[in-house]
Amino acid sequence: MSIVVHETSRAILLLTAYKPGGKFGALQIDLSTDKVLSFQEKPEGDRNWINAGYFVCEPEVFGYIPENDDMAIFERTPLGV
């Protein structure tokens, strides 16, 4: 599906975004008494989208990335499974 979306959008880069929920239960604690005031089971995350790490791109995208940029990290070989 991602390949079809990429091809029909005519974009040079498609990335996958994910909006994670909370991973842990949240406590509200009264630090003066060390008592738990409330507990919320796995609340929503901060509502921000994150990069899920899956990209589909056209070769021309590399023309936008400066050479020798320490912030641009690409895997040169496939990761072992």
pLDDT value at position 79? 57
pTM of the model: 0.52
- List the chain domain ranges: 2-64
Ranking 41-45, 55-59, 61-65 by mean pLDDT, the lowest is 41-45
For residue 12, give Cα distances in angstroms to 7, 17, 29, 73.
Answer: 9, 16, 48, 18
In angstroms, the CA 79 to CA 31 distance is: 46
| Residue whose entry in the numeric block shows the structure tokens 């929503």 | 44
Q: Convert the pLDDT of each residue in 13-55 to its tens digit.
A: 888 888 777 777 788 888 898 788 988 887 777 777 888 888 8
